[in-house]
């Protein structure tokens, strides 16, 4: 039985072309959570890059939330060991690596996305990082190093991480010919802070590229696989509608498919099971409790593309909440939603909601 991975080689080629043409030596792929970024980078981009003569190095800045430099250091150490054909020496990291997970074991994990005790790298660690990069670059020979840095928005979540951000920018800037980089990030808000704020080290350094949603060809692939390997017949259109209802997240789509296979239920039931799973995993009920009435209204309004400062919305606030429908209140509410990562603001698209499933939850009677 072949894998469930739906290859996106064409997309990987497109990104490599941008790097190849010298338009930019650094790209940022931006998409919300659970859209398939990491899998794409590991299974499509890295292998194709390798084929084309790059030396891909993958690092996740979430390896240690409190010390993102450790993710970079261990990725470079592993690459170096590999190039020197040495067994991987696992360095004793100063602080414990911990990717915190809480929540209900059965439902999956609710990942913590922010550091609770952020640490700046020491000057020794920064020097070590640079040395590793120099060594890898040298041993790579003719190959161009392709640094794949996942969860890069993390650099903008604490001022303790600014030295690392500045350092990284300088290291990459000095080596635009021999090291290229692809950043991935899942929070448009923090990525925007990292890439588009004039005082950020990455301002104008990185070319932002869209990460398109998976389309009908992905659904087609699933339909065929279900039929061939599991003798489960589903209608393309019905499965595609379910994919829409899951906000085109492949992560949740695969949960639905797993449910289809194990429970022998139809799509409708598997979908409502999966929607329930989303609600519980993302803890929408808990989230909703942290929101003030104006925040809820604002979230829903942004979801439908309303102008948050328009007369219509201000009137709605006045009518439905205890606070006055004035721009100042809307501004404070926007700030709360931004800081909670529930919405994002970008220059191109204005305010956008980040958790579409929450809309469905808040709209429930
Ligand atoms: N191309 C694909 N083919 C099949 N399944 C996929 C594909 N892309 C993603 N998935 C499914 O979605 C899951 C989530 O993907 P991935 O971890 O890459 O998303 P992500 O965007 O990096 O998420 P996060 O924001 O949580 O880091 C995968 O484990 C896999 O089950
Ligand atoms: Mg990921």
Percent of the chain with pLDDT over 70: 91
Tens-digit pLDDT profile for residues 348-357: 678 888 887 8
pLDDT at 89 over 70: no
Judgement on whether residues 28 and 152 belong to the same structural domain of the protein: yes
Domain count, the chain: 3
Q: Which of 210, 233, 261 is the last residue of a domain?
A: 210
Q: What average pLDDT does the segment 247-265 reach?
A: 94
Please tell me the distance between residue 35's alpha carbon and the centre of ligand 2 in angstroms.
8
**250 and 122 co-located in one domain:** no
pLDDT at 91: 46
With a Cβ cut-off of 6 Å, ligand 1 is lined by 4-6, 8, 33-39, 186, 250-251, 254
d(C-alpha 253, C-alpha 245), whole Å: 10
- Counting from 1 in the atom list of ligand 1, the atom nearest the Cα of 4 is 4
Q: What was the pLDDT predicted at 350?
A: 82
User: Each residue of 108-144: pLDDT tens digit?
Assistant: 344 567 788 898 999 999 999 999 999 999 999 999 9
Are residue 101 and residue 225 in the same domain, yes or no? Answer: no
- 170 and 41: one domain? yes
Taking residue 277's Cβ as centre, other Cβ atoms within 10 Å add up to 17
Question: 50 with 25, same domain?
Answer: yes
Question: 36 alpha carbon to ligand 2 midpoint, in Å?
Answer: 7
Give the pLDDT score at 116.
83
Is the predicted pLDDT of residue 22 greater than 50, yes or no? yes
pLDDT attached to residue 340: 85
Distance CA 249, CA 33 (A): 8
Contact 179, 144 (CB under 8 A): yes
pLDDT digits (tens, 9 = 90+) for 275-308: 999 988 888 999 999 999 999 999 999 988 899 9
CA of 330 to the centre of ligand 1 (A): 35
As a whole number, mean pLDDT of residues 245-259 equals 95
User: Is residue 206 one of the residues assigned to a domain?
Assistant: yes
Q: What is the pLDDT of residue 87?
A: 56
Ligand 1 pocket test, pick from 2, 7, 32, 34 with the greatest ligand atom count within 8 Å of Cβ, gives: 34
* Residue 202 contacts residue 354 (beta carbons within 8 Å): no
Asked which of 96-100, 136-140, 357-361 is least confident by mean pLDDT, the reply is: 96-100
pLDDT at 357: 84
- What does pLDDT average to over the chain? 88
Residue 301 CA to ligand 2 center (angstroms) comes to 28
Write the CATH number for 355.
1.10.10
pLDDT of residue 108: 39
Q: 145 lies in a domain?
A: yes
Cβ neighbors of 288 (< 8 A, separation 6 or more) are 296, 358, 361, 362
Work out the percent of the chain whose per-residue pLDDT is above 90.
66
Could you tell me if 317 and 338 lie in one domain?
Answer: yes
Ligand nearest to the CA of 355: 1
What confidence tier does 154 reach under pLDDT thresholds 50, 70, 90?
very high
Phi, psi for 319 (deg, rounded to 5):
-75, -45
What was the pLDDT predicted at 112? 63
Q: At residue 92, does pLDDT exceed 90? A: no
* 3-state class percentages of the chain: helix first, strand second, coil last, to nearest 5: 55, 10, 35
Full domain range(s) for residue 354: 287-363
In ligand 1, which atom is closest to the CA atom of 32? 25
């Amino acid at each position: 039985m072949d894998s469930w991975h739906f290859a996106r080689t064409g997309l990987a080629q497109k990104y490599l072309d941008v790097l190849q043409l010298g338009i930019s030596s650094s790209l940022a792929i931006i998409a919300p959570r659970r859209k398939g970024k990491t899998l794409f980078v590991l299974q499509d981009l890295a292998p194709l890059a390798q084929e084309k003569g790059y030396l891909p190095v993958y690092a996740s800045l979430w390896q240690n939330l409190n010390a993102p430099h450790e993710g970079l250091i261990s990725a470079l150490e592993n690459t170096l060991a590999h190039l020197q054909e040495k067994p991987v020496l696992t360095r004793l990291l100063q602080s414990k690596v911990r990717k915190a997970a809480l929540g209900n074991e059965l439902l999956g994990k609710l990942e913590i996305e922010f550091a609770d005790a952020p640490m700046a790298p020491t000057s020794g660690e920064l020097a070590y990082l640079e040395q590793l990069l120099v060594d890898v670059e040298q041993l790579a020979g003719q190959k161009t190093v392709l640094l794949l840095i996942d969860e890069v928005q993390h650099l903008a979540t604490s001022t303790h991480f600014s030295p690392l951000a500045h350092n990284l920018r300088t290291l990459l800037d000095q080596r635009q010919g021999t090291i290229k980089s692809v950043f991935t990030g899942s929070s448009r808000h923090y990525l925007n802070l990292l890439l588009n704020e004039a005082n950020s080290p990455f301002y104008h350094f990185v070319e932002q590229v869209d990460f398109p949603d998976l389309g009908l060809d992905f659904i087609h692939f699933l339909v065929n696989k279900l039929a061939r390997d599991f003798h489960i017949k589903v209608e393309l259109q019905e499965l595609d509608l379910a994919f829409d209802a899951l906000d085109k997240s492949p992560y949740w789509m695969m949960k639905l498919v797993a449910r289809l296979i194990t429970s022998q239920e139809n799509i409708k039931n598997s979908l409502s099971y999966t929607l329930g799973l989303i609600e519980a995993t993302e803890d929408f009920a808990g989230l909703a409790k942290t929101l003030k009435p104006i925040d809820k209204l604002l979230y829903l309004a942004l979801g439908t593309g309303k102008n948050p400062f328009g007369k219509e919305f201000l009137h709605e606030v006045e009518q439905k909440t205890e606070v006055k429908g004035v721009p100042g209140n809307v501004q404070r509410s926007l700030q709360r939603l931004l800081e909670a990562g529930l919405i994002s603001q970008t220059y191109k698209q204005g305010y956008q909601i980040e958790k579409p499933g929450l809309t469905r939850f808040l709209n429930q009677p």
